[in-house]
Amino acid sequence: LVLILDFGSQTTQLIARRVRESKVYCEIHPCTLPFEEVRAKNPRAIILSGGPASVYEEGAPSLDKRVLELGVPVLGICYGMQLMAHLLGGKVERANKREFGLAQVQVEKNDGIFHRFAKGESLDVWMSHGDRVASMPAGFETTGLSGNTPFCAVANDNTKMYGVQFHPEVVHTPRGSDLLASFLFEVTGLTPSWTPGSFTDEAIQAVKDRVGPNEHAICGLSGGVDSSVAAILCHKALGDRLTCIFVDNGLLRQGEFEQVVNTFRETFSLNLVAVDAKQRFLSALAGVSDPEQKRKIIGKVFIDVFDEEAHKVQGAAYLIQGTLYPDVIESVSFKGPSAVIKSHHNVGGLPERMKLKLIEPLRELFKDEVRACGESLGMPRDILYRQPFPGPGLAIRCLGEVTEERLAVLRAADHIVSEEIRGAGLYDKIWQSFCVLLPVRSVGVMGDYRTYEETCAIRAVHSLDGMTADWAPIPYEVLGRMSNRIINEVRGINRVVYDISSKPPATIEWE
Ligand code: XMP
């Protein structure tokens, strides 16, 4: 285990991703993790993240000095390096000039964290700091130089402590992964053994160990990547002792219900209860236009329906959920004064009143690892690489009132967009692409008739995590085909527009 202690940097997650990509298991914990717990984890190496504070400020996040005396290799990144210097008797001061952006570092010594580099080599690195180390504690030497930052990379080979002022975890430091690999493999002596096969096997075993021979588990299937992989993984562990519940809320896309039911029943022989609750959702949504209201209603009806079905499963003691590591980190990470709080909205969690114990088999995995896990379980690409689809489904893409008729119009238009995006080979390159039905009527002419129908907006965005997004420059021919087909094939829409707003300040969904 490599332990990453978080001081509130925006890029702490990226450190974990790079370490995992090197096939080494790591965990992120807040810098406030008590020393006894740090020691109990028995880490083979420790990485101290960056952070927005200044070490000499009152109340700045610090570290129990005993962590540095455990005798395991330590890599301090930016704030992590400054804190290490500060705690060990060096000096940190405000830099004359904030340094933000690309810089060049010259490698002075090609061992330690620069084992995989050549002496004299110049590296592009990403800097983002207002403070700098003015003097390092005894025993440290400079191993990397940059014009503006005298102590850009430092090392104490005796105590195996290393520090870098720049951020090796970001893409703007192209050889950052080599630096981390030098730290993990040459300095620490770890072996790259964290692979999709290994974590899938471990996860299956963990579920087997946890659920008793006469106990059952239930899993809510949404058709999305996370719940699908969680279900298949638990099915491998529990066989018929797992029941999956898939609720048709009437807000799914064209053919989606049948596709999910077929895949899981026929291909994977899963014990699947498919519930037709379309009318319940639609009646609860009748007359409602407010987006937040829609979300609340859908969340509540879902919980009611799920709860009723779950009670029918004999001996159910566990609930399987597809929680991923980013959600776990989000709840444990160190929240410094300027840390961003992510405001993600999901269909309400399942109620405690269900009295089921929770199993989250994917809670240590990042999304790409979940996909790799799914591949090692033999799951098809079209499930593993699906674009995200919101829990409240088409309801939040049907602006204004959600009626069966309007949903049918939206579903047909959305299907055309999906076919054209796939046909153009763009599906995998785009984060999300879909249609929004606007309650805006305009005049059109079709043959000899005047039409007065609603408007469809096409939305397609590029994004890495859904937190920020850019509108996707879909080729004009593809947009043209979508527009022609929608207006000709879908009754109820006579005008198509393309949404060219980015997030922020817009959001990906319209509601
Ligand atoms: P926004 O619209 O906030 O969306 O830019 C960011 C990402 O989240 C998805 N999204 C949701 N997912 N329940 C979900 O499960 C929701 O209520 C919800 N609202 C937005 C959206 O599709 C995008 O991927």
With a cut of 80, say whether residue 131 has pLDDT above it.
yes
Last residue in a domain, options 327, 356, 384: 384
Average pLDDT over residues 368-382: 94
- Amino acid identity, residue 355? K
Residues 328 and 413 in one domain: no
With a cut of 50, say whether residue 341 has pLDDT above it.
no
Residues 344 and 213 in one domain: yes
- The string of DSSP letters for 64-88 reads -GGGGGSSS-EEEETHHHHHHHHHT
- Amino acid identity, residue 418? S
With a cut of 80, say whether residue 122 has pLDDT above it.
yes
Strand, coil or helix: 252? coil
Ligand 1 atom with the shortest distance to the CA of 389: 22
Query: Could you tell me the CATH number of the domain that includes residue 108?
Result: 3.40.50.880
- Each residue of 36-61: pLDDT tens digit? 999 999 999 999 999 999 999 999 99
The pLDDT, as a whole number, for residue 347 is 38
The structure tokens listed for 73 are: 């290799």
Q: In angstroms, what is the span from residue 388 Cα to ligand 1's centroid?
A: 8
Q: In angstroms, what is the span from residue 337 Cα to ligand 1's centroid?
A: 26
Q: Would you place residue 351 in the very low, low, confident or very high pLDDT band (cuts 50, 70, 90)?
A: low
Residues 67 and 205 in one domain: no
Q: In angstroms, what is the span from residue 498 Cα to ligand 1's centroid?
A: 19
Residues 369 and 236 in one domain: yes
Q: Is residue 219 part of a domain?
A: yes
Q: Is residue 503 part of a domain?
A: no
Q: Is residue 504 part of a domain?
A: no
Expressed as residue numbers, the domain containing 439 is 403-498
Q: Whose CA is nearest to atom 22 of ligand 1?
A: 390
Q: How many CA atoms lie within 13 A of 27 on its CB side?
A: 15
The gap between the terminal CA atoms of the chain, to the nearest Å, is: 42
Q: In angstroms, what is the span from residue 380 Cα to ligand 1's centroid?
A: 24
Last residue in a domain, options 326, 352, 384: 384
Q: Would you place residue 306 in the very low, low, confident or very high pLDDT band (cuts 50, 70, 90)?
A: very high
The pLDDT, as a whole number, for residue 479 is 98
Ligand 1 atom with the shortest distance to the CA of 347: 13
The pLDDT, as a whole number, for residue 346 is 43
The pLDDT, as a whole number, for residue 147 is 81
**Bridge partners of residue 76, in order along the sequence:** 48, 163
Q: Would you place residue 340 in the very low, low, confident or very high pLDDT band (cuts 50, 70, 90)?
A: very low
Structural domains in the chain (count): 3
Q: In angstroms, what is the span from residue 508 Cα to ligand 1's centroid?
A: 7
Q: Is residue 507 part of a domain?
A: no
Ligand 1 atom with the shortest distance to the CA of 506: 5
Our answer on whether the CB atom of 345 is closer than 6 Å to any ligand 1 atom is yes
Query: Could you tell me the CATH number of the domain that includes residue 301?
Result: 3.40.50.620
Query: Could you tell me the CATH number of the domain that includes residue 448?
Result: 3.30.300.10
Cβ atoms within 10 Å of 432's Cβ, excluding its own: 18
The pLDDT, as a whole number, for residue 335 is 67
Residues 345 and 236 in one domain: yes
With a cut of 70, say whether residue 18 has pLDDT above it.
yes
Q: Whose CA is nearest to atom 12 of ligand 1?
A: 390
Assembly ipTM: 0.99
Residues 144 and 291 in one domain: no
- pTM across the whole model: 0.85
Our answer on whether the CB atom of 295 is closer than 6 Å to any ligand 1 atom is yes
Dihedral Cα 483, 485, 491, 495, nearest 10 deg: 10
Q: Is residue 114 part of a domain?
A: yes
Residues 230 and 104 in one domain: no
- Each residue of 172-198: pLDDT tens digit? 999 999 999 999 999 999 999 999 888
Residues 93 and 57 in one domain: yes
Whole-number Å distance between alpha carbons of 511 and 509: 6
Annotated binding site for ATP: 222-228
Our answer on whether the CB atom of 294 is closer than 6 Å to any ligand 1 atom is no
Our answer on whether the CB atom of 291 is closer than 6 Å to any ligand 1 atom is no
Residues 204 and 174 in one domain: no
CB 70 within 8 A of CB 39: yes
Our answer on whether the CB atom of 433 is closer than 6 Å to any ligand 1 atom is no
Dihedral Cα 374, 380, 384, 387, nearest 10 deg: -170
User: Between helices 325-332 and 12-21, what is the axis angle to 10°?
Assistant: 140
Catalytic sites, residue numbers:
78, 167, 169
Last residue in a domain, options 384, 415, 446: 384
Ligand 1 atom with the shortest distance to the CA of 511: 2
Residues 225 and 292 in one domain: yes
- Each residue of 388-401: pLDDT tens digit? 999 999 999 999 99
With a cut of 90, say whether residue 336 has pLDDT above it.
no
Residues 220 and 329 in one domain: yes
The pLDDT, as a whole number, for residue 338 is 38
Whole-number Å distance between alpha carbons of 459 and 389: 13
- Each residue of 71-98: pLDDT tens digit? 999 999 999 999 999 999 999 999 877 8
Our answer on whether the CB atom of 322 is closer than 6 Å to any ligand 1 atom is no
Q: Is residue 453 part of a domain?
A: yes
Q: Is residue 510 part of a domain?
A: no
Average pLDDT of the chain is 93
Measured at the alpha carbon of residue 34, what is the angle toward residues 29 and 37, in degrees to the nearest 5? 75
Who's near 323: CB < 8 A, 6+ residues apart? 226, 360, 362, 363
Residues 145 and 288 in one domain: no
- Return the best residue to mutate from 321, 462, 508 for the ligand 1 pocket (most ligand atoms within 8 A of CB): 508
Our answer on whether the CB atom of 346 is closer than 6 Å to any ligand 1 atom is yes
Q: Is residue 324 part of a domain?
A: yes
